[in-house]
């Protein structure tokens, strides 16, 4: 039987030799994308974008946006490929560029939402019609 570590002592867990820490990145805030889209703190970002790319990707997007506004750095997000594929962030050479406002869902993205969520989104944007 082994004794418990002393209180306050942190246990050091060695990384396996093949583990590589994710690199740090310095996201840049896009110059502007006008007034179109949602503010990052708008509940619509979490509700509708999470339905498309998942809550982890949305959390990464919000961290990227906050870090870019501060001019800081963070570890490369795990969901960066998803954010790039959806056009939520862009590459400019080695830099990751994040928008000041989160874009609205395009028609193709809206079609991927559950019908009730799609109707809710369209009503929110004022795009709803009885034939939608």
Owning domain of residue 106: 24-125
Whether 7 maps to a domain, the answer reads no
Kindly tell me if the per-residue pLDDT of 33 is higher than 70: no
Whether 132 maps to a domain, the answer reads no
Which tens digits make up the pLDDT trace of 18-28?
778 889 999 99
- Collapsed DSSP state (helix, strand, coil) of residue 69: helix
Whether 119 maps to a domain, the answer reads yes
Percent of the chain with pLDDT over 90: 61
Number of domains in the chain: 1
Measured CA distances, 68 to 63, 65, 72 (Å): 8, 5, 6
Whether 130 maps to a domain, the answer reads no
Cα 109-47-110 angle, rounded to 5 deg? 15
């Amino acid at each position: 039987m082994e004794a418990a570590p002393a209180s306050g002592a942190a246990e050091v867990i060695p990384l396996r030799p093949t583990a590589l820490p994710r690199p740090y990145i310095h996201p840049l805030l896009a110059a502007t994308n006008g007034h179109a889209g949602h503010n990052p703190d708008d509940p619509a970002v979490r509700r509708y974008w999470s339905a498309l790319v998942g809550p982890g990707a949305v959390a990464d997007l919000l961290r990227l946006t906050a870090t870019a506004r501060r001019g800081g750095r963070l570890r490369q997000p795990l969901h960066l490929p998803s954010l790039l594929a959806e056009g939520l962030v862009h590459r400019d050479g080695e830099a990751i560029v994040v928008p000041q406002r989160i874009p609205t869902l395009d028609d193709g993205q809206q079609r991927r939402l559950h019908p009730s969520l799609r109707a809710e989104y369209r009503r929110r944007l004022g795009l709803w019609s009885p034939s939608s």
